[in-house]
Chain A
Amino acid sequence: MFCLPKNPATRRYLYRFLTTMMFYVVFLVGAVWAFPRYHPTGALAYLLAILPALPIIGGIVVVGLYLAEEKDEFQRALLVQAMIWGIGATLSLTTAWGFLEVFQLVPHIELYLVFPLFCVLTGFASGVLKARYR
């Protein structure tokens, strides 16, 4: 049985985040489906192409809202620390990869993969920090 978190800030975060992810799937599938069929041009092409990015940006806003609404300062500090580790690791890895790419030693990686990479690294950092504070 799916258990809802007791903390209202966490609960709101979960609802909002799931909503943005739902929009992400719809927009992504929509863009991938429409592009090869309708060959949009000009502003419409830009709009359609950027559509899947908007819920991801929304997801970042949702994390910001959680930080603003979470009353437990320790939980806030944990997330902020995890995100700082996530940012540091993501920037380090992508910068190193960028130079490897310049010298054609590794294949090109699409920029939209940077955000999921940040999420994974932040999640990992969060796990390590939680274990440290236990």
Chain B
Amino acid sequence: MKNRLRVLRAEREWSQADLAERLEVSRQSVNAIETGKYDPSLPLAFRLGKLFGIAIEDIFQDEQ
């Protein structure tokens, strides 16, 4: 699944480690989600949305 995490992070000047700390997950997890190798669960996706103050569909886009 495509996502805008890298852009959203860059806008706030957060590193992957910064985002990981705010989400209470490992940096590897942030990297796996950001590179589209791992699709987060709905609860984690909602946490991301809440953290960036936007809707889930403004972070993740269905590739189909």
Chain B, interface size category, equals 10 to 19
Q: A133-B37, A133-B38 are in contact. Are A74 and B29 (CB under 8 A)?
A: yes
B24 and A74 contacting across the interface, CB-CB below 8 Å: no
- Binary A-proximity of B40-56 (CB < 8 A = 1, otherwise 0): 11001000000000000
CB-based A-B contact count at 8 angstroms: 34
Chain B 18-36 residues near chain A, CB threshold 8 A: 24-26, 28-29, 31-33
Residue A39 interfacial (CB < 8 Å): no
Chain A, interface size category, equals 10 to 19
B44 and A73 contacting across the interface, CB-CB below 8 Å: yes
Residues from chain A with Cβ under 8 Å of B32 in the complex = 74, 133
Chain A 60-79 residues near chain B, CB threshold 8 A: 71-75, 77
Chain A 67-105 residues near chain B, CB threshold 8 A: 71-75, 77
B21 to chain A, nearest CB (A): 10
Residues from chain A with Cβ under 8 Å of B40 in the complex = 73-74
Residue A108 interfacial (CB < 8 Å): no
Chain A 1-25 residues near chain B, CB threshold 8 A: 7
B31 and A71 contacting across the interface, CB-CB below 8 Å: no
Q: Which residues of B come within 8 Å of A, CB atoms?
A: 24-26, 28-29, 31-33, 37-38, 40-41, 44
Q: Which residues of A come within 8 Å of B, CB atoms?
A: 7, 71-75, 77, 130, 132-134
